[in-house]
C-alpha cells in the first residue's frame, strides 16, 4: 500500500501501464457461487438455502401477494452479490468494489428507475397520490409535494452512499489501526491484534447487515409504489 486510500484504487500498474483490473473481483462470486448448486448438498449449501428461504419470506411480506412475478428472486440475487462483494473485500489484496459510488449507484439506480417507469406506465394515479398523504391540510399540499418528490429522487443516492460509506469507514479503520503495529511494544501489539480481530468480526457483521439493509430498503421502496389492486399479466 502506497497510501491510506490505495486499497480503494480500482487501477493496478503493470509495466508502467495503469489497467482497471481490480473491478474483476466483482465477478468472482458470479463464477464461484453457482457451481455449488451442481454439487451434492453440503452444509454451506444448506445454509445458503436457509438464507434464501428467509429472504423470500421477508420479501413476500414486504411486497405483498400482488408483487411483480420474479421480483423476489431479483432482490435475493442482489443480496448475495452485495454480501459476497462486501465479504471478499475483507480479504487481503482483494479490491472492495462496493466501496465505490460508481458500483453502488449501478446497483440502486436501475431498480429505482424501473420502479418509477412501472408506476408511470401502469400506476400513474397511485404514484401521484403517494405525493400527498391523506389528511394533509390544503395549504401544505404544495410543500408536501415538493418534499415527497425530492425524497423519491434522492433514494438511489442515499442507498448508494450508505453502502459505500460503511464499507469505506470499516476498511479505513482497519488500515489505520494495522499501520500502528511497528510503533508498539510487545504488550501493545497483542492488544492491537485482539482489537483488529474484534474489528474484523464486526466488519463481517456489517457486510451482512448492509447487504440486508440495501435489499430490504429497495424492496420497501417498490412496495410503496405497488397498490393491492396492481397485477402484472404475463402473456405466453
Its pTM stands at 0.77
Instruction: Give the per-residue pLDDT at 231.
Output: 46
The answer to whether residue 228 scores a pLDDT higher than 50 is no
Instruction: Give the per-residue pLDDT at 132.
Output: 76
The answer to whether residue 219 scores a pLDDT higher than 80 is yes
Please write the tens of the pLDDT for every residue from 132-155: 777 777 777 788 888 888 888 888
- Mean per-residue pLDDT of the chain: 77
Phi, psi of 110 (to 5 degrees): -60, -40
Please write the tens of the pLDDT for every residue from 164-210: 888 888 888 887 887 777 777 777 888 888 888 898 898 889 988 99
Instruction: Give the per-residue pLDDT at 122.
Output: 75
- Look up residue 136 and give its three cell numbers: 394533509
Instruction: Give the per-residue pLDDT at 3.
Output: 61
Instruction: Give the per-residue pLDDT at 114.
Output: 81
Note whether 105 and 213 are within 8 A (CB): no
> What residues does each domain of the chain span?
6-225
Half-sphere exposure of 78 (CA within 13 A, CB side): 27
Note whether 221 and 70 are within 8 A (CB): no
The answer to whether residue 93 scores a pLDDT higher than 80 is no
Distance separating alpha carbons of residues 5 and 100, to the nearest angstrom: 12
pLDDT level of residue 12 (50, 70, 90 thresholds): low
Instruction: Give the per-residue pLDDT at 35.
Output: 60
Residue that wins the pLDDT comparison between 85 and 36: 85
Residue that wins the pLDDT comparison between 44 and 90: 90
Give the percent of the chain with pLDDT over 90.
1
Name the DSSP letter for residue 67.
Answer: S
- Does an H or E element contain 49, and which? helix 43-63
**How would you class 142 by CB atoms within 10 Å of its CB: exposed for 0-12, middle for 13-18, buried for 19 or more?**
exposed
pLDDT level of residue 20 (50, 70, 90 thresholds): low
Determine the average pLDDT of the residues in 94-110: 85
Give the percent of the chain with pLDDT over 70.
78
Instruction: Give the per-residue pLDDT at 37.
Output: 59
Instruction: Give the per-residue pLDDT at 26.
Output: 76
Please write the tens of the pLDDT for every residue from 30-66: 777 666 556 666 677 777 778 888 888 888 877 765 5
Residue 42 sits at the vertex; the CA angle it makes with 39 and 46, to the nearest 5 degrees, is: 110
Amino acid at each position: 500500500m502506497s497510501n491510506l486510500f490505495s486499497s480503494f484504487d480500482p487501477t493496478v500498474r503493470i509495466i508502467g501501464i495503469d489497467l482497471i483490473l481490480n473491478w474483476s473481483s466483482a465477478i468472482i462470486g458470479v463464477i464461484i457461487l453457482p457451481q455449488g448448486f451442481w454439487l451434492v448438498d453440503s452444509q454451506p449449501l444448506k445454509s445458503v438455502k436457509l438464507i434464501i428461504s428467509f429472504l423470500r419470506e421477508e420479501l413476500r411480506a414486504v411486497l405483498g401477494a400482488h408483487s411483480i412475478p420474479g421480483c423476489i428472486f431479483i432482490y435475493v440475487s442482489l443480496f448475495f452479490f452485495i454480501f459476497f462483494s462486501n465479504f471478499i473485500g475483507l480479504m487481503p489484496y482483494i479490491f472492495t468494489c462496493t466501496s465505490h459510488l460508481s458500483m453502488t449507484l449501478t446497483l440502486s439506480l436501475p431498480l429505482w428507475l424501473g420502479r418509477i417507469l412501472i408506476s408511470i406506465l401502469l400506476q400513474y394515479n397511485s404514484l401521484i397520490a403517494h405525493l400527498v398523504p391523506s389528511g394533509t391540510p390544503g395549504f401544505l399540499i404544495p410543500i408536501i409535494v415538493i418534499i415527497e418528490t425530492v425524497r423519491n429522487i434522492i433514494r438511489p443516492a442515499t442507498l448508494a452512499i450508505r453502502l459505500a460509506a460503511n464499507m469505506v469507514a470499516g476498511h479505513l479503520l482497519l488500515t489505520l489501526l494495522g499501520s500502528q503495529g511497528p510503533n508498539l511494544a510487545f504488550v501493545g501489539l497483542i492488544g492491537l491484534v485482539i482489537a483488529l480481530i474484534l474489528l474484523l468480526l464486526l466488519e463481517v457483521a456489517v457486510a451482512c447487515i448492509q447487504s440486508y439493509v440495501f435489499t430490504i430498503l429497495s424492496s420497501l421502496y417498490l412496495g410503496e409504489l405497488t397498490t393491492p389492486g396492481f397485477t402484472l399479466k404475463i402473456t405466453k
